[in-house]
Amino acid sequence: MRLCSILGVLGCAGLLALSSCSPRSTDLRTLAPADALIYLQTNDLGAALRPLAESRAAQAIDGSRPDFSSFDGVQLAIVVTGFDTSEKKLNEEQSSAQVKPNFVAITDTHAWHFQAVRFAEEKLGSLVAKFYGDKPQMDDPEHNGGRDITWTAADGRKAFAFVIGSVVYFSNDRASLDKVLTVRSGAANLASTGKAASSGGALATGYVSQNGIGQLSDLVAIRVAAAGSEDPQVRSGVASVLPPLAREMVAEVRWSADMEKGKVVDTYDITIPESVRSALVDGQVDDLNLRLRNAVFALLRDSKLDEKTSAEVADIVASVASSGAGDQTTFTPTGLQRKTASESGLIGQIVLQFSGG
């Protein structure tokens, strides 16, 4: 489902909150499972999206500036619990990997329960119908103290929501929704781990766990390999080297987005195992790309790849860690911190990608 369509519906949740009872802040981390692979949160979706409205990239799509005022004050969290990968055949010789993240979006409407149910049935229902291309069958019994909604399309595809009190959960995967709901029954929540920071005054924050790094590295390797070379041997080499290297070098990632001097500054705090970190800090930050490239090349010495192919694989893998112009990378007591500044930041990049922009 296109992310912008989901955001549009959640904007209606913000209007619902303003028209019902006074909004109050909810720590959405307390509603997410402790072992979430990826967690993203904003306490003000409008503020988080506003830099995108001002960006040239967004205005280039249709020549106008998007209006995100309906998102002001909307709290949103997205929990990714896993990924489903399938293969789509393009022709007799080529195929492409299709990746679907299993996610649960959580928003507190701060409204009465009946209003939250109506929001889910009508607004989320219209979103599901738009995505499926026709009106799906809806089943919404009372279950476990809340309204349990399932939409089923004619071709069998399903979407799910659960409404309890003022909180609405929306998911593309039943197992993921059930996993998140176990927190309400006493399962450990993400806030209790101390790993994911509260949004506080930031535009948004995020967290990727060690297991999340492992799964993301597999997906990133496929994309990097495909974009980096047409040579099947090079692609295979990148796909085989990058995932285990990422798992060995990165333990966790914390992210935050803030406004500084008219730019969105994305800060990535990368936790690195001590054995790896101690080896890195012996050198200069500016040398990281070259040292990673040389390390990969050394790893490939005993492989069946020739020297030229090994060098190309090493260059592509090292490029993943390359800094952009103006990026700031520093060593920290737990690993590395990288700051990037741009017009719309990571949030804007994600929205534009899912919007087809």
Residue 317 has pLDDT above 90, yes or no: no
pLDDT, residue 178, reads: 96
**206 within domain boundaries:** yes
pLDDT, residue 72, reads: 80
How far is residue 88's CA from residue 65's CA, in Å, rounded to a whole number? 36
Residue tagged 């003022």 (tokens): 166
Residue 18 has pLDDT above 50, yes or no: no
Torsion of CA 318, 319, 323, 329, to 10 degrees: -20
> Letter for the amino acid at 332?
T
**128 within domain boundaries:** no
**260 within domain boundaries:** yes
**Residue 265 phi, psi (nearest 5):** -105, 115
Residue 156 has pLDDT above 50, yes or no: yes
**145 within domain boundaries:** no
Position with higher pLDDT, 177 vs 348: 177
Q: What is the mean pLDDT of residues 264-292?
A: 83
pLDDT band at 327 (very low <50, low <70, confident <90, very high): confident
Q: What global pTM score does this model have?
A: 0.86
**259 within domain boundaries:** yes
**Residue 155 phi, psi (nearest 5):** -90, 5
DSSP class of residue 322?
P
**139 within domain boundaries:** no
pLDDT, residue 16, reads: 54
Q: Is 299 left (phi over 0), alpha (psi -120 to 50) or beta?
A: alpha
pLDDT, residue 12, reads: 55
Structural domains of the chain, count: 1
Beta bridge partners of 171: 104, 160
How far is residue 312's CA from residue 234's CA, in Å, rounded to a whole number? 7
Position with higher pLDDT, 44 vs 53: 44
Q: Mean pLDDT of all residues in the chain?
A: 83
Q: What is the pLDDT of residues 53-75, one digit of tens each?
A: 777 776 666 566 767 777 788 88
**158 within domain boundaries:** no
Provide DSSP, 161-219.
EEEETTEEEEES-HHHHHHHHGGGGT--BHHHHT-SPP-TTSSEEEEE-HHHHHHHHHH
What is the residue range of 244's domain? 3-111+166-355
How crowded is residue 244: how many other Cβ atoms within 10 Å of its Cβ? 13
**133 within domain boundaries:** no
Q: What is the pLDDT of residues 194-246, one digit of tens each?
A: 998 887 789 999 999 999 999 998 888 888 888 888 888 888 888 888 888 88
Position with higher pLDDT, 251 vs 327: 251
